[in-house]
Structure 1
Amino acid sequence: MPDSNIVLDYEIRNSRVTITHCNRDATGEVIIPEMIEGFPVKSIDLYAFYKCTQISNFILPDSITYIGSNAFYGCNGITELVIPDNVTGSVFSAASYCENLEDVYIGEKLSGLGSRAFFQCPKIANIYISASNASMRSVNGVVYSKDETKLIKLPHARSGSFEIPESVTNFDYNSFSDCALVSEVVIGPNLTNIPDSPFNNCHSLNQITVHPDNPNYASIDGVLFNKSLSKLIRYPLNRQGHYNVPHGVTDLRSAFSSCAKLTSITLPEGITEISGFASCKLLSSIDIPEGVTTIGSYTFIECTNLESITLPNSLTQIRGVAFVGCEKLKSIHIPKNVSFIDTVVFGHNYDLMEITVDPDNTFYTAIDNVLFNTDQTELLACPVTKSGEYIIPESVKTIRNYAFYGCKDIIHISLPENLELVENSAFFGCSSLQRLEIPKLTVIEENVVDACSSLISITVDPENPYYASLDGVLFDKSLETLHRYPPGKSGVYKIPSSTITIDDYAFSYAKNLMTITIGESVEKVNSTAFYRCSKLERVIFAKLINYHNGSLVFANNSGNLLILYPASIPNFPVSAFAKTTWESTMRPMTPYEEWAFLQEESDAYPTSELLPSANVDHDLSNNFSEYVFETNLFEPDSTSGFTIQPTSTIGAGKLIVDFNLSEATTAYDFELQVSNSLRGPWETVSAFIPQGPDMGIVRVSGPDASSVHLEALGGGIFHIAESIAQSDEAFFARLAVSQN
């Protein structure tokens, strides 16, 4: 039997049960039943068992046909996993980051594994396939196609030398990925198709050997080439020091990516495109030869020790993200023939101080080390070492994507009056930027101020036809769509009553936001609206809303997040949000929480401080006030001012509150109302009108033999008590007080 502390949440739709969530402190063996409430269990939702680290084993029923992505993410307690015969699909990504998973048994109907199978499961030693599976088979724990012509997956824990069988003609990019202990791969004579950048994350790989009879591939000194030696396909990741690329090689593609021990390289003439040096973390310098026309996307990303690079005059194109993460790169010179520079070429270049352009270049120019197009209508890149205030030239109409990426020391950017467009993520990571003023003609794309952790205010020129600002928050002109909450703005925020839609990434990277209240007016919350709000502790929904991709709305937030919703709402889509709130808690509001929320939301119910010994003339100055308490709790509540005391009569309770009327100069109406819901309707149980502190005892009978009495006690304090029958269902009462 499963351990008693295991709690499985589930949904029933179309007479089918989906397991949606399990408590993270679950321990021992989880046995999922075939039937729940008379319906078959068919699915396990994505992230259903997220980080249930103390579960030791899963027993899954044959009724299951679908297991969602990352369903067993971080289940470090399991050492084996059995996938039932009826689970279908060509991709299996349910088990990832399972650090101790060793053996996997796959049933007969799963037709493939996909690119993310067993991601970050380093101890996988064997993957066994049912003999009845029509698409795959396993040989010695290695997965092949049924006819053994394709190698599908080598288990990650395999070490030493691995020889690809002669029957194999092809394998995928991920067939060897994350096999960190493999030191040699031997390629047989019949292999005809090797993907670009094979052997990803095989960090121990020193040698690639190719059978001499292979008609398509060859190896020289353990380096993999095509047969004609014109293309270098893969340099072993664990090779150290310098490498001379042989003459005649014209294609490098991604041959050197993640070669973390490569310190320097000499490139031959004849190469026209450079790419594939990503994460060569010891590479300190490189001279690119004449003849090269293109630096490809991601070419030098995360080359953290690259200090200098020489670009040839033949260069015409620099593709996206080419130098992002080159932390020690100090300067870069754009040659005269460069006619295309992609977005996000630079970023996280913490030592970059100088961007210069050849004066004969007719496409680009640099002013004060900031890169522009030649007529200065577009700003492309600002070096991250720029600090203080930066005034953008008045000629600029467009700020390009990621133009100020990571400029952490800029505290203010002055935007020109006639600026028309700020592209996506233009100020990403400007962590010292404190305020942003949007001019009258400017349009702002998504994510412009992501990770601007000091930004507390976004203001808008009143003449701007697209946007408005309310309390430093960016809205559309009608205030119906909340576009952007400043990431540095802190504390508690209540969505204004005019708001209908919360936009994509509206609160992303709001690291100081702790509580958000989403009121009755909001109809839709878009995907990733609250992405990476690292201190967000509480979200309160007033009602059921429309959401676009709810699984991402609260992605990558704090593990302490509490999401509250009204208990009166049936079928609130807990699982839709829980998929990426992962470590968070979702529950209905308690009566006190919901009452406090309703009080805050509605101006019709102002609250007075109805606490013991409160001065009525001062505290009951509003026309209407109320307190709400739940009668079936029968426990003291220090926050409400009420106490609930049991009486000698079984099944009944007495509600007591004291008011100080000793200084009252006018009469007050007291009305006790009851309801089965905090949202009403409310029924008056009894009403009474005290005339002053010396009036003695007043008793007014109410329906259902209830009674209210008001007693004059010492010092003019009146004591109100209402005796009611205890109910098994939720039962609420409120005390309405108004001046007579």
Structure 2
Amino acid sequence: MKTTCRPAGIHRPKTPAMQWTTVRILRRLHLLLLAIPLAAQAQFDYTTNNDTITITGYNCTEGPATIPSTIDGLPVTTIGGGTFSGCSGLTSVTIPNSVTSLGAEAFGSCTGLTSVTIGTSVKTLGAHAFADCTGLASITIPDSVTDIGAWAFARCSGLTGVTIPRNVTTIGEQAFFHCTGLGAIEVDALNSHFGSLNGVLFDKNLATLIQYLPGRTGGYTIPDGVSTIGDWAFRDCINLASVAIPNSVTNIGKGAFVGCKNLPSVVAPDGVTSIGTFAFQGCGSLGSVTLGNSVTTIGRGAFEGCVSLTNLNIPNSTANIGSSAFAGCRNLTGVNIPDKVTSIEERTFAACASLTNAMIGNSVTNIGDWAFAYCSHLAGVTIPKSVIRIGANAFYGSSLSSVTIPDGVTAIGNEAFYGSASLMAVYFMGNAPSEFGRDVFGDSPETILYYLPGTTGWDSIFVNVQTVLWLPRVQSDDPSFGVRENQFGFNINWASERVVVVEACPDLATPVWTPVGTNILNGGTSYFSDPQWADYPARFYRLRSP
């Protein structure tokens, strides 16, 4: 056999035909290589800024997407807001190392997205960046990330676990809201801002509970030393069956337990001073609430819609109750508002249909608009002397049969008692209010307004409402009327704290009236008795104010 060896570096000369073929192959290969990035780039819309590229749009083809690291020779650094939003057919995405920021809703509602590779230069995951990616079961957040935006992974129902890397300094509000499958949030041990205990997210010092796990079932005991239950920490944890709050907790944050619809009871220990806005809103099974003796603030809507709540003791330490705080608690039967409270805000007890009685503290100056509206069984309310204003629709649709308006009230809003069909008598302790709204008593034609002697303003302020001078009255129809212990007596009914002089005479034909008693009507009533009644063949009595 003959073997030919060709020395290295020595090539056989090409014929002209071979050279032409080689040129054509190289040209086609060059065009093919050019076509690949051009085709990929054609899937994206982008803008140029300071020699960098921001991807602003995607044509939402089905299947995987690979974001190029350069376009037109410039680095791709940003995935703009909403770029892939709603691309339900997107199954996976690879983000290159050139990218530093993912904008708001960058991949929002990509429901078919199951795999994400995030480049090692990304620092920011924008608000709602992966919200509603329901098919996303896991994601690796690189160490480069410093900021996780609000709602970044909200409603990612398939997400079962996530690890917060070492350099994250900010986690936005409700970043993992309604991740119903989330069973653990771990934190890199080198992270200086956040920590994790048994899969629950805390700040580094374990003083603030930031995010509980919507995917967990059963009860949870908050560790001793925690001082704050963070905003929205347990939101929509529908499988939370119980929670134990330690004495170290001072603040229950905004929306902390909102939507925990299977939570049956809660005890806020004496250390708690503040219950945040919407803290227990919509906890439909919450039938028992115990508030410690240090609570000063109950936030707006804090217990709104807690339809199973029947009784609640608001501690005397409470000074502020927010609007709609107990609105829609349709089984709440009674409420006692402490003396430190100065204002009942709008809709505070609206639609508490089972509420029968309300005791209002002696520092309240304002009863806000709709405060007790649609409390259809409210039959008794004590309005203290401190009240200046009764707001529009404040007692709309109540079952009040009578009500006393203190002399300090200067304003009553539109339709304040409208729809209170049982309201027969309204007793005014002072002058007619200077501000009297439209249809205050509305469709209650039998309502009579009683005013005291010496008060003013009753001639011109009311339209289609009957006003009657309010005078002291002997209660001849109750058991007190008659002889008791050899003395004739009766109850006197009139305005609270007023003084009534009882006069008597033996003969109405030639009357000579003699004072026989002076009564102070504490609480609007007082009992009079005459030990000398038997000394006369007849004895007549009359009442007057001094």
State if a TM-score over 0.5 links the two structures: yes
Deviations 1:403-428 (A, max 9, x none): 11111122321111122222211112
1:436 is matched by which residue type in structure 2? V
Deviations 1:520-562 (A, max 9, x none): 76543569979xx9x9778899899466xx89x99xxxxxx95
Tell me if structure 1 keeps the 8 A contact 2:353–2:377: no
Tell me if structure 1 keeps the 8 A contact 2:249–2:272: yes
Mapped to 2, the partners of 1:280 and 1:395 lie a distance apart of: 40
Tell me if structure 1 keeps the 8 A contact 2:269–2:291: yes
Deviations 1:648-694 (A, max 9, x none): xxxxxxxxxxxxxxxxxxxxxxxxxxxx74886269899899999xx
Q: Select 2:158's aligned residue among 325, 328, 336.
A: 328
Tell me if structure 1 keeps the 8 A contact 2:399–2:423: no
Q: Select 1:423's aligned residue among 227, 230, 253.
A: 253
Residue in 2 that maps onto 1:231: 54
Alignment of 1:58-457 (within 5 A): 221=42, 223-227=44-48, 230-235=53-58, 240-247=62-69, 248-256=75-83, 258-263=85-90, 264-275=92-103, 276-444=106-274, 445-457=276-288
Inter-CA distance 597–419: structure 2 relative to 1 (3 Å threshold): farther
Deviations 1:695-724 (A, max 9, x none): xxxxxxxxxxxxxxxxxxxxxxxxxxxxxx
Tell me if structure 2 keeps the 8 A contact 1:467–1:475: no
- Give the deviation of 1:296 after TM superposition: 1.8
Deviations 1:399-453 (A, max 9, x none): 2111111111223211111222222111122212222222222222322112222
Structure 1 range deviating more: 255-264 or 423-432: 255-264
Determine if the alignment matches structure 1 residue 461 to structure 2 residue 284. no
CA RMSD for the aligned pairs? 5.0
Mapped to 1, the partners of 2:353 and 2:118 lie a distance apart of: 47
Residue in 1 that maps onto 2:423: 594
Inter-CA distance 419–520: structure 2 relative to 1 (3 Å threshold): closer
Inter-CA distance 268–593: structure 2 relative to 1 (3 Å threshold): same
1:449 is matched by which residue type in structure 2? F
Residue in 2 that maps onto 1:27: none
Secondary structure of 1:436's aligned partner: strand
Residue in 2 that maps onto 1:83: none
Which is greater in Rg?
2
Secondary structure of 2:53's aligned partner: coil
Tell me if structure 1 keeps the 8 A contact 2:336–2:358: yes
- Give the deviation of 1:480 after TM superposition: 5.8
Residue in 2 that maps onto 1:3: none
Mapped to 2, the partners of 1:589 and 1:504 lie a distance apart of: 18
Residue in 1 that maps onto 2:29: none
Residue in 1 that maps onto 2:519: none
Mapped to 2, the partners of 1:587 and 1:292 lie a distance apart of: 60
Inter-CA distance 271–478: structure 2 relative to 1 (3 Å threshold): same
Mapped to 2, the partners of 1:354 and 1:382 lie a distance apart of: 9
Mapped to 2, the partners of 1:220 and 1:459 lie a distance apart of: 61
Inter-CA distance 448–596: structure 2 relative to 1 (3 Å threshold): farther
Mapped to 1, the partners of 2:174 and 2:229 lie a distance apart of: 12
Q: Select 1:524's aligned residue among 354, 366, 376.
A: 366
Residue in 2 that maps onto 1:681: 470
- Give the deviation of 1:332 after TM superposition: 0.8
Q: Select 1:473's aligned residue among 312, 323, 328.
A: 312
Give the alignment's TM-score, normalised by structure 2. 0.56
Deviations 1:232-280 (A, max 9, x none): 12335x6544333232321112133642424232222211122322233
More strand by share: 1
Residue in 2 that maps onto 1:490: 331
Mapped to 2, the partners of 1:456 and 1:739 lie a distance apart of: 47
Inter-CA distance 297–563: structure 2 relative to 1 (3 Å threshold): farther
- Give the deviation of 1:630 after TM superposition: 4.4
- Give the deviation of 1:397 after TM superposition: 1.5
Residue in 1 that maps onto 2:24: none
Residue in 2 that maps onto 1:501: 343
- Give the deviation of 1:342 after TM superposition: 3.0
Mapped to 2, the partners of 1:564 and 1:270 lie a distance apart of: 69
Tell me if structure 1 keeps the 8 A contact 2:109–2:131: yes
Inter-CA distance 688–386: structure 2 relative to 1 (3 Å threshold): closer
- Give the deviation of 1:739 after TM superposition: 13
Mapped to 2, the partners of 1:405 and 1:460 lie a distance apart of: 20
Mapped to 2, the partners of 1:362 and 1:480 lie a distance apart of: 37
1:681 is matched by which residue type in structure 2? W
Tell me if structure 2 keeps the 8 A contact 1:406–1:430: yes
Percent of aligned positions that are identical:
23
Inter-CA distance 687–383: structure 2 relative to 1 (3 Å threshold): closer
Inter-CA distance 524–435: structure 2 relative to 1 (3 Å threshold): farther
Inter-CA distance 291–516: structure 2 relative to 1 (3 Å threshold): farther
Mapped to 1, the partners of 2:154 and 2:360 lie a distance apart of: 44
Structure 1 range deviating more: 222-231 or 261-270: 222-231
2:343 is matched by which residue type in structure 1? T
Inter-CA distance 433–683: structure 2 relative to 1 (3 Å threshold): same
Tell me if structure 1 keeps the 8 A contact 2:227–2:248: yes
Give the alignment's TM-score, normalised by structure 1. 0.43
Mapped to 1, the partners of 2:220 and 2:68 lie a distance apart of: 47
Tell me if structure 2 keeps the 8 A contact 1:467–1:476: no
Inter-CA distance 312–481: structure 2 relative to 1 (3 Å threshold): closer
Mapped to 2, the partners of 1:313 and 1:490 lie a distance apart of: 51
Tell me if structure 1 keeps the 8 A contact 2:265–2:286: yes
Tell me if structure 1 keeps the 8 A contact 2:102–2:126: yes
Deviations 1:543-590 (A, max 9, x none): 99466xx89x99xxxxxx958999999996449xxxxxxxxxx97245
Mapped to 2, the partners of 1:370 and 1:285 lie a distance apart of: 24
Alignment of 1:610-625 (within 5 A): none
Tell me if structure 2 keeps the 8 A contact 1:495–1:516: no
Inter-CA distance 629–686: structure 2 relative to 1 (3 Å threshold): farther
Inter-CA distance 683–377: structure 2 relative to 1 (3 Å threshold): closer
- Give the deviation of 1:352 after TM superposition: 0.8
Tell me if structure 1 keeps the 8 A contact 2:182–2:216: no
Structure 2 unaligned residues grouped into runs of 5+: 1-39, 70-74, 304-308, 428-443, 449-464, 483-524, 530-546
Inter-CA distance 525–436: structure 2 relative to 1 (3 Å threshold): farther
Mapped to 1, the partners of 2:447 and 2:278 lie a distance apart of: 48
- Give the deviation of 1:466 after TM superposition: 3.4
Mapped to 2, the partners of 1:398 and 1:291 lie a distance apart of: 34
